[in-house]
């Protein structure tokens, strides 16, 4: 079910499992802004640059009341290793069955996520989409948009 999401669309809701066996969902974070960053694979150069950019700016995102999530098809174990290796401060959501990636229409021809980010407002509407992400400066791009959006 590939959809063409655009600014103003309602963000597809989703649930996901955590490494401890519990589950969480996007709905638990609405009421504040949510940044969802889809990326192809843990521990690759571009994905590492993007994750570190976002992680290094986590205090600025917190100040703006934005919860940051990265989503790839990697499993919980891969995410855990990636987080520990780079001391990441962002939440990584495993999507090995590609359900979330497919819901957001970002499945690429290689069977992983196309690098795309969605900024979702407090009510669950998409307020911006980055389909061309500057991996080294993505946090700056998003924070600049948030400052201009005030």
The residues assigned a catalytic role are 47
Q: How many CB atoms lie within 10 A of CB 112?
A: 19
Residues forming a β-bridge with 94 = 72
Task: Say how far apart CA 71 and CA 150 lie, in whole Å.
Answer: 27
- The CA distances from residue 36 to 29, 102, 132, in Å, are 11, 14, 14
């Amino acid at each position: 079910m590939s959809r063409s999401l655009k600014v103003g669309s309602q963000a597809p809701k989703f649930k996901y499992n955590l490494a401890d066996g519990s589950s969480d969902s996007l709905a638990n974070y609405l009421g504040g802004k949510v940044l969802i960053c889809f990326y192809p694979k843990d521990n690759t150069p571009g994905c590492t640059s993007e994750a570190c950019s976002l992680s290094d700016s986590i205090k600025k995102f917190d100040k703006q009341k934005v919860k940051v999530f990265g989503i790839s098809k990697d499993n919980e174990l891969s995410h855990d290793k990636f987080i520990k290796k780079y001391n990441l401060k962002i939440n990584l959501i495993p999507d090995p069955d590609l359900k979330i990636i497919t819901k957001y229409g970002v499945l690429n021809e290689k069977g992983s996520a196309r690098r795309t980010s969605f900024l979702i407002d407090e009510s669950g509407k998409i307020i911006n989409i980055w389909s061309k992400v500057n991996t080294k400066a993505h946090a700056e791009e998003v924070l600049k948009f948030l400052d201009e959006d005030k």
